[in-house]
Structure 1
């Protein structure tokens, strides 16, 4: 559960003391003997900053190389008040060194121009979706889910979306597959937070993500159609990161110190259990659900898991994940705990006075049958304590479904192929039987009136409209870009029933199936990735739609024309000059561009293994071939990203002055720095960058 961090007046004055909290956790004995003072000292320390490099893009290794060889090496040389800074270190348990931790505070970062560059790098790359600023313990749940590209995944309480982004990355582990068989449906109950979730998910440019807005405890069951049959959708993987009291976030959310009481967990336990129950109901047999909280309290943790296992009657079992993440230090789950109200402790529900039964429930206590309790194997749960690896506090449990839930046996498939004769005959028989019954039992009580449809709150979303295979919009696109015959036309959608289509989006085949069969069941906030945008100037050249950079990785495998192969020097020109002449390109790219007619194009860079100093990953950019010039249609932050990969400096120093001229003379230095030289009033890309950063809101949260 993520809690927004407040940075208003008086926030820093909050005293990091709560005697009730200390007494409670001392009594429970969750912290190993002799370590409680270390535990409390760690809780009072600021949380280290952690970053995660998105792992599904093919240039993740290039970003890692840039961080290690440039920024981290520079940080090692920085001294603040005569003290050398500690270099960031990789999280030992996160695969492929894609997650890093640093103890540098924002205050320290502002004291050095080199650290200011590092901070701006983080902000820019975060906006581009290449880096996520995420708390370390928050990265654990998706890793325990063991995602594969064909998995159907539900994230039940997804906002703000850091874990959702991880799930999408894992789904796209192979970037050569534009449409993985699986998908991620990310849900949140708060309509406004759903839009924060959309922002996080859209940075990853995936056609396999859908954001919906429902109460997780009653999230609707969805259906999918297969060969004319409609059946319930069961998920292969579910992330159940429930709302919680958040006492594991005290290092980041300091106001929890004064707000924490023992009543918080009592109020949330019922909701947490309902959400978990709804999750396992929709989990496929053989599937895995990870339950997690950023609370250390057993009432929100082991008590929920134990109640879930009890209700499942053997249909669920806890997976042993202790060896899944080598290097991660965790404590096993506990099988004994107590429940309290101020001044009174209860070991068993039988000790609770009747006046407290509305606040304290039987499911909050350990099972009284010791053999039954032992069969739950609650020691397979995992609790992360802050002082063990300088992290926040966290709880995790991975549940595997071995059979249908006893109260939710899987219904047989229902034939919905209306053209089949058998279906019609069945429908007629049902109607006749209803007539007969109504005549034979005239005194039967009437059926209750249907429930009123629940009102949907929040912004009214534009409709999602799939294009038909023969939609007139598609023919010129197919011809202009010479799309391959296997291009999935039916996966293209727009957001308007009427008028000219402004943007075209794409979703995977499986998400299309979900959307077409559940339009009345779910409230969709956003889905798909933009692949084309209307450009009226293009109509005269044969196609009114230009390529969108967001969807280039999805579209590229199907495009067989309008390609220009560019070099590193070509990319530098294209990303630092607004409309360079074709003659600015090197000979190969120049010849290819000249042979193409005007309109939208793909600019393709292929790595050369013999040039190790150049990027060793393919790059696809959207561009426009003009009459005598060429242009890259790339969003600003992505321009910065690619320029950094090419070794071009895109920041000013802290004083706002440009650095010393680079090799090659002043003109070449200006060009490498991003200045539009052929102009009477040159406007430097560095200036654009600084204007951009001066207007952006600081990213203050290291999100969970």
Structure 2
């Protein structure tokens, strides 16, 4: 299986010449005679088949994340960039713009055949390219081949399911599976949030009595969302290579899901995962329980000769022995997958090879072993719009331990009181990653099933590499009454419905957000709050610490089209949107088509305040004052 880059563009180092793939002749007598002899396509389509393999593979990408947010980013592409591209002519002909993949749900997958010389020559394409790069950097777009999007769709994953991706790196398919596990979660959480905001529910919330069943008022609760509207599903993504497992983590962390576990095991011998024993009658021995999966993706290592359009080395290096050597490994992975499957579950076996030895022969060997308990389902029926490739344009380590925190820790008392968090929010799913099991810097949050798996399998030899989403990070503060634990953006959407109104603020105008995106650390004291528009008076009066900024959609011209929540930090003298610089730039480009350089307002103030601070130094020392803005800024900048 080939390794795929997540970024658009790229190239070699300066002063070096890239490999001239065009110089490789796309011809190999053994390769062609082998597949012609197997009659993988009808005789009258043979010529078209080889012509298709010699054509360059189109670029393709997918909008990622929650469905609502992915559609919002996609809307920018359709409404702004595509209209500017469709009018371009090159060598007398209209250039074909990017097009949605017709069979992919909600048009969230796109492909383009535009030559590089056209992209470089015309400004609308250059602007479009910047959009792709910035959104890819922050994880809203993923570079993924069209053909690799098919296996996750065939799995038919639904919220509440337990899913295993046996050979997951680099993670594009795992990301698809995770999105399916969370499908519909936004609507369920929104429904619950609306009910929480009603006065009667607020009273119940403060008393810790509110239940999702009460909030639904008799409406049917969807399967998979029994955890107060959150998805109860779990994805375990595995890779046998430790470095590739970390590449997988990098790809998946951008989805900010507590429903993910990453492991590092040989898929042919994937270990059984223990679950907590169920309560039994006195005197009886509790039987061992092991995790079984609803869905398993076995996207196995293969010779990759189906990637000839992208990997031209296939033409040069192809040999029939490649597939023969991989067959035993592929068969063992599929057998292990079937052993771990729940009754009624589904395994999708996939390769990027055309070789029957790696495909039909592997399936046949599994059928021989499991013919009484397993059935093979045809892959063509669920996705009726799919066509064959000829007719479309596709082609030794140490890990910190996972330690769950005691729900009675004093840190939780501080956090829950400061943010007015509902007692309904579970305290028994927070963990840290250090040997002493104390919250020193970062607190993570996981699902209940992930917690049970991690605690039950500690010391058993299971190699867990990653789990959980960052929820709280410790911040230096200058006052003892301020909660030092700030909410991390990764976990904010999970926490939002349960946070009280005292640490939240709503804005309705994009101009307010733009100022916060462009200016880092805008001043609040000495009248600086007056320049913050609708946010000004609140910023002036709110106490120091972390806050939640809610972007409320309206029908106004200057209004938002999408609900978002972002973390803010109110320091002694300034306000700061807690977003990394690349995410600020991506939001500016997407929402405002704005490439304005970011401004650190503290640099502007340094020269103006230096003399004043020098003159007041003696007085400050005599009064015992500390926490000047320059110190405050240094501690804040460490966040970016």
CA contact (8 A) 2:161 2:234 kept: yes
Report the CA distance between 1:105 and its aligned residue: 3.9
Equivalenced residues, count: 539
Per-residue Cα deviation, 1:43-102 (whole angstroms, up to 9, x for no partner): 111100111111525322211110011111222133445543201111111011111110
Q: Which residue of 2 aligns with 1:486?
A: 424
Which of residues 561, 568, 581 in structure 2 aligns to 1:636?
581
Which of residues 80, 83, 103 in structure 2 aligns to 1:73?
83
Q: In 1, distance between residues paired with 2:326 and 2:454?
A: 32
Residue 316 (str. 1) matches residue 377 (str. 2): no
Q: In 2, distance between residues paired with 1:66 and 1:115?
A: 14
Q: In 2, distance between residues paired with 1:677 and 1:493?
A: 36
CA contact (8 A) 1:154 1:235 kept: yes
Residue 2 (str. 1) matches residue 2 (str. 2): yes
Q: In 2, distance between residues paired with 1:275 and 1:613?
A: 54
Q: Which residue of 2 aligns with 1:376?
A: none
3-state SS, counterpart of residue 586 of structure 1? helix
3-state SS, counterpart of residue 268 of structure 2? helix
CA contact (8 A) 2:521 2:600 kept: no
Q: 1:31 to 1:231 in 2, by over 3 A?
A: same
Residue 501 (str. 1) matches residue 440 (str. 2): yes
Q: In 2, distance between residues paired with 1:266 and 1:527?
A: 36
Map of 1:157-176 to 2, 5 A cutoff? 157-173=167-183, 174-175=185-186, 176=188
The alignment's TM-score, normalised by the length of structure 1, stands at 0.73
Q: Which residue of 2 aligns with 1:537?
A: 477
Report the CA distance between 1:552 and its aligned residue: 1.3
Q: In 2, distance between residues paired with 1:106 and 1:497?
A: 51
Q: Which residue of 2 aligns with 1:583?
A: 530
Q: In 2, distance between residues paired with 1:583 and 1:613?
A: 20
Q: Which residue of 2 aligns with 1:528?
A: 468
Q: Which residue of 1 aligns with 2:195?
A: none
Q: Which residue of 1 aligns with 2:393?
A: 390
Q: In 2, distance between residues paired with 1:83 and 1:615?
A: 38
Farther-moved stretch of structure 1 (614-623 vs 233-242):
614-623
3-state SS, counterpart of residue 30 of structure 1? coil
The structure carrying a bigger helix percent of its residues is 2
Q: In 2, distance between residues paired with 1:75 and 1:541?
A: 55
Q: In 1, distance between residues paired with 2:452 and 2:604?
A: 55
3-state SS, counterpart of residue 601 of structure 1? strand
Farther-moved stretch of structure 1 (620-629 vs 80-89):
80-89
CA contact (8 A) 1:55 1:170 kept: no
Q: Which residue of 2 aligns with 1:146?
A: 156
The alignment's TM-score, normalised by the length of structure 2, stands at 0.80
Map of 1:184-195 to 2, 5 A cutoff? 184-195=235-246
Report the CA distance between 1:225 and its aligned residue: 1.6
Q: 1:187 to 1:679 in 2, by over 3 A?
A: closer
CA contact (8 A) 1:210 1:527 kept: yes
3-state SS, counterpart of residue 44 of structure 2? coil
3-state SS, counterpart of residue 537 of structure 1? coil
Q: 1:503 to 1:680 in 2, by over 3 A?
A: closer
Map of 1:256-267 to 2, 5 A cutoff? 256-267=314-325
CA contact (8 A) 1:94 1:325 kept: no
Q: 1:480 to 1:388 in 2, by over 3 A?
A: same
Report the CA distance between 1:126 and its aligned residue: 1.5
Report the CA distance between 1:532 and its aligned residue: 1.2
3-state SS, counterpart of residue 39 of structure 1? helix
| Gap regions ≥5 residues in structure 1 | 331-384, 393-456, 651-669, 683-704
Q: Which residue of 1 aligns with 2:507?
A: 566
Q: In 2, distance between residues paired with 1:42 and 1:613?
A: 48
Q: Which residue of 2 aligns with 1:401?
A: none
Per-residue Cα deviation, 1:396-452 (whole angstroms, up to 9, x for no partner): xxxxxxxxxxxxxxxxxxxxxxxxxxxxxxxxxxxxxxxxxxxxxxxxxxxxxxxxx
Report the CA distance between 1:549 and its aligned residue: 1.3
CA contact (8 A) 1:207 1:554 kept: no
Residue 605 (str. 1) matches residue 551 (str. 2): yes
Per-residue Cα deviation, 1:638-689 (whole angstroms, up to 9, x for no partner): 2233323422422xxxxxxxxxxxxxxxxxxx7xx7556897599xxxxxxx
Which of residues 278, 297, 300 in structure 1 aligns to 2:355?
297
CA contact (8 A) 2:234 2:449 kept: yes
Q: Which residue of 2 aligns with 1:15?
A: 25
CA contact (8 A) 1:213 1:523 kept: yes
3-state SS, counterpart of residue 465 of structure 2? strand
Q: In 2, distance between residues paired with 1:171 and 1:576?
A: 35
Report the CA distance between 1:548 and its aligned residue: 1.1
Q: In 2, distance between residues paired with 1:11 and 1:92?
A: 30
Q: Which residue of 1 aligns with 2:47?
A: 37
Q: Which residue of 1 aligns with 2:542?
A: 596
Q: 1:300 to 1:82 in 2, by over 3 A?
A: same
3-state SS, counterpart of residue 43 of structure 2? coil
CA RMSD across the alignment: 2.2
Q: Which residue of 2 aligns with 1:24?
A: 34
Q: Which residue of 1 aligns with 2:166?
A: 156
| Gap regions ≥5 residues in structure 2 | 6-10, 13-17, 190-228, 280-285, 524-528, 607-640
Map of 1:246-395 to 2, 5 A cutoff? 246-330=304-388, 385=389, 387-392=390-395
Q: 1:614 to 1:38 in 2, by over 3 A?
A: farther
Q: 1:538 to 1:84 in 2, by over 3 A?
A: farther
Report the CA distance between 1:613 and its aligned residue: 7.0
CA contact (8 A) 2:3 2:170 kept: no
Farther-moved stretch of structure 1 (507-516 vs 272-281):
507-516
